[in-house]
Amino acid sequence: MRLSDKVVLLTGASRGMGRAIALGCAREGADLALVARNQTLLEQVAGEIRALGRRAAVFPGDVSDPARVKEIVKEVRAEFGRIDILVNNAGVLDNEPIAGHRDEVWNRVMGINLFAPFYFVREVIGEMMERRSGRILIMASTSAKIPIGPNRAAYVASKHGVLGLIREVALEAAPFNITVNGICPGAVLTDMVRDSIRLMARDLGKSEEEMERVWRDRNPQKRLLEPEEVVPQALLLISDEAAGITGQTVNIN
């Protein structure tokens, strides 16, 4: 198994791509530290992981709060002894026109999509450098390369920032045998995308079917991907097989 006895700290682990990646890691032999806001959903994922014969522990909290991030990392180390792999998956969308864009929406999106990965990287990378080993994966988005449409200023800006973070941290971490990479999913059928479809339909006076078609058409295959389709690339990038890949972002669309 590619991740035998590795400890993976995974944010946004309660549903969607995070849940799919968590289960994929467990099937490859990893133990999971699961982070998200919703403890009930986290416990459900943890139960699925334990059913696969691997350890799992939940650490609920706000990933945009640097003090809570510091606590979470400390708690994970106390539970598992170390962190071999960090997967930053937590993310949110906005639906705000730039004219009159609210500060609280901008700050929330930046806090979860960009600041949170920075906070977690900052807390775990020292340990990885000391061990001269580690894997870091951050979820970006194809919107960091091609804008996805109106009313997404905060989201698109945050994902552009993620690309810069990946490249810079990869450069600093490379001498310590640590790789830092990203995945840029296109339109994936998650609860977040379903919520966005509903909001777009409401705001534009369109049907949800029309808005779903807009999302499908953003992908070259003209379909919404399933969260499980992101898992194989994620597992590759956090495995020893990808030791020679760093500072890269891979589109899955």
Q: What is the pLDDT of residues 14-31, one digit of tens each?
A: 999 999 999 999 999 999
Give residue 212's pLDDT.
87
**pLDDT tens digits for 113-141?**
999 999 999 999 999 999 999 999 999 99
The tens digit of pLDDT for each residue in 186-215 reads: 999 898 888 888 888 887 888 988 888 988
Tell the residue number behind the tokens 């709060």, with chain if given. Answer: 65
- For residue 181, what is the enclosing H or E element? strand 178-185
What residue has token string 């979860």? 112
The encoded tokens of residue 220 equal 């070259």
Angle of helix 208-217 relative to helix 191-204, nearest 10 degrees, comes to: 120
CA gap 20, 182 in Å, rounded:
16
Tokens of 22: 């968590």
Q: Which residues of 3-26 are buried (b: 16+ CB within 10 A; e: fewer)?
A: beebbbbbbbbbbbbbbbbbbbbb
Strand order from edge to edge, sheet including 7-11: 56-60, 31-36, 7-11, 85-88, 134-139, 178-185, 249-252
> Which of 155, 159, 180, 189 is labelled catalytic?
155
- pTM (2 d.p.): 0.95
Q: What is the pLDDT of residues 218-253, one digit of tens each?
A: 889 999 999 999 999 999 999 999 999 999 999 999
155 given a catalytic annotation: yes
